[in-house]
Structure 1
Amino acid sequence: MVMKHDPASKRSTGPSAKFSEPVADYLEYLQRERGRSENTLRAYDVDLRNLGQFLNEHAGDPALKQISVQMLRDWLAYLHESAVSRTTLARRISAVKNFFAWALKNHLVENDPALRLAAPKKERRLPHILQPSQIDRLLSEHAGPTEENEAARQKGDGIDQDPKARAIQCRDRVIAELLYASGLRISELVALDLSDIDFERRTLRVLGKGNKERMVPFGKPAERVIIEWIRSYRRVVAAEQAGDALLVGVRGSRLNVRQAREVIASALRSLGDTSASGPHALRHTVATHLLDGGADLRAVQEFLGHASLATTQLYTHVSVDRLRQSYRQAHPRA
């Protein structure tokens, strides 16, 4: 739950209650009515606090209705002078524009001062992807050491003798297989329950961004490792507090995002020949491999749970194999 800022606890260098209280109401609206994730709420909070602090220090701490477009432009100039990246600048402008649109709708302001703010074009960096041979190695080799499997390993003479360490190793294979098989976000993966798996159809029921539900298929290799985990290993580490969670941490409760991210980061480091560094690399990779294989762009959009087709189209820029194949087939002098 998003907590409102306590006016008594504000510092003179931070946003005052004039600004922080409506921001807290806005964040609560985003959480309760729009279903925004904790990461999204945290980003909005940081960006709006930045504006509130600037207004407090440089604009005489105006009331919300007194904030003008010139004040916002002065804030943007201050950000430019602070060498803020274009990506951060665009995100902060978006947060402020959305906030004031909400404030206008709720009659907290008479005019929207952010309406005429223009965000810079975001830098579109091509995502790092893995080649099929690297994926084969990633999914066939044991992931590198993590805090969890090292702790479990130290309790026995070796991984072959330690049931908990073997269980964690199997769970880590489930994480890697499912991320590549289904293209899930890491938060979607750790939120999966046993009841979300349909083995007959080999599909997952996934709750994505904005509480939108979608069905995502997975293949036989992922099916085999999931069944092995559920039948033979999950009960070794799962405690009562795990509930129906598919993935369980070494302490017996549902695996969290940080732990799952470290599993994949460790596995990618162990490859030694890729700059891909986190679980989102597998999401980029499966999208690119699907497009390379001839999958329809809109089908990939639905598979990944993208709200906009433009997000999915990013992967067409990294689908080099598909481009080369089309070039060879269509160009008269290929």
Structure 2
Amino acid sequence: MHLDPAIDGFARYLATERGFSVNTVRAYCADLCGLATFAEERAVGTVDGLTLELLRDWLWEGTQAGLARATIARRSASARGFTAWLTRDGVLPSDPAVRLRSPKPGRTLPRVINRTQMQDLLDKLEVAASTGDPGAVRNLAIIELLYASALRVSELVGLDVGDVDLSRLTVRVTGKGDNERVVPFGVPAQTAIVRYLQAARPALAAADPGATRSGTKPSGSALFLGSHRQRLGVRAVYRLVAALLESMPGTGPAGPHALRHTAATHLLDGGADLRAVQEMLGHASLGTTQIYTHVSAERLQQSYRLAHPRA
């Protein structure tokens, strides 16, 4: 079997049988297309030409090109998943990637916004929303909900109006692998969402139909709408958060995930149970959630060094 149709079949398997998200499938395919190009440059065009040596050479080439350890580890995982699937389906007699190893990805502490900075950010959004501008009212509701519920940006933009229970202060979220969970939020987020639903969303939904992008239809059920009556996209939320964090002290990524990191860390700083935070974040592994305990420990050490006379 040629590599290209095999990769297409693997992508369908990931999407339909494993329930992987579109972004995850896209990442697997990007890695495997890179492997296919590497293989074809070495006169290997079919899956039976995939050997352990070829796969090791592919990872080595990436290392020499300066790719991060996390990228090399992801490539290795993509190759192992692909060849394991080919073996299970009987396309390959044995799995060439069983002994394929990769470096453990380095773990860096995520960016966390302190409570004072977070309050200043929300105050700034409140001032803008008080003007009644629909976009500003929506932006306040977005940031309040991201911070309150520690949602992934893909989960946020995928929300429908019916997913929000304003009486119970919960939101029903579809996360990775199409797994659903119910996540709480607080009264400030409730207030912001109610204001948005009562005034801003109707205004955004009633935008000039002529402004609707060609070939698209208004998304009537979407919770958060953009300026063209469409479901707000991931990029728009990234731009919003990046603009808000641009002038804020701190290092690390300035996207919506910084608010997810911040919410999780503030929960643990406040005494929340680690497993409860795991459930809220939708992490399959407790080990993934434990990174936030490291963040809390580092913050404690910094405070100790600054405050204790014998530090």
Write the mapping of 1:181-220 to structure 2, written as runs, cut at 5 A.
181-220=148-187
Residues 131-188 of structure 1: CA deviation (Å, up to 9, x unaligned): 000110111103999xxx9xxxxxxxxx95xx6xx00000000111000000000010
Distance in 2 (alpha carbons) for counterparts of 1:40 and 1:191: 16
In 1, are the aligned partners of 2:36 and 2:45 still within 8 Å (CA)? no
TM normalised by structure 1 equals 0.83
- Corresponding position: 1:29 with 2:13: yes
Aligned-residue sequence identity (percent) comes to: 46
Render the CA deviation track for 1:50-108: whole Å, top value 9, x for unaligned: 111111002x2242123211221222222222222211111100000011111111111
Identify the residue that residue 224 of structure 1 maps to in structure 2.
191
Comparing 127-136 and 26-35, the one that deviates more: 26-35
Return the match for 2:89 from 97, 106, 121. 106
Task: Pick closer, same or farther for the CA change 1:143–1:122 going to 2, 3 Å.
Answer: farther
Partner of 1:306, secondary structure, is coil
On the 8 A contact 1:202/1:218 being kept in 2, the answer is: yes
Change (3 A) 1:64 1:256: same
Q: Which of residues 277, 282, 306 in structure 1 aligns to 2:283?
A: 306
**144 and 116 in structure 1: CA distance in 2 versus 1, 3 angstrom threshold:** farther
Q: What residue number does 1:117 align with?
A: 100
Question: What TM-score does the superposition give when structure 2 sets the normalisation length?
Answer: 0.89
**Corresponding residue to 1:238 among 198, 205, 208:** 205
- Structure 2: distance between partners of 1:97 and 1:111: 12
Q: Deviations over 1:6-30 (max 9, x none)?
A: xxxxxxxxxxx81111000000111
Contact 2:222/2:231, CA 8 A, preserved across alignment: yes
Aligned residue for 1:92, secondary structure, equals: helix
- Structural RMSD (CA): 2.5
| 1:262-295 Cα distance to aligned partner (Å, 9 max, x none) | 11111112x4323351100000001101111111
The yes-or-no answer on 1:284 pairing with 2:261 is yes
Q: Which runs of 4+ in 1 moved over 4 A?
A: 321-328
Query: What are the within-5 Å matches in structure 2 for residues 68-217 of structure 1?
Result: 68-142=51-125, 160=131, 166-217=133-184
Structure 1 residues 73 and 220, CA gap change in structure 2 (3 angstroms): same
User: Over residues 203-255 of structure 1, what are the superposed CA-to-partner deviations in whole Å (9 max), with x where a residue is unaligned?
Assistant: 00000000000000000000001000101111101157121111000111111
Counterpart of 1:56? 40
- Cα gap change, 1:92/1:141 in structure 2, threshold over 3 Å: closer, same or farther? same
For structure 1, list consecutive stretches of 5 or more residues without a partner in the other structure: 1-16, 150-158
Shift of the 71–292 alpha-carbon distance from structure 1 to 2, 3 Å rule, reads same
Name the SS of the counterpart of 2:290 in structure 1.
helix
Equivalences, count? 297
For the 8 Å contact 1:183–1:287, the answer to whether it is kept is yes
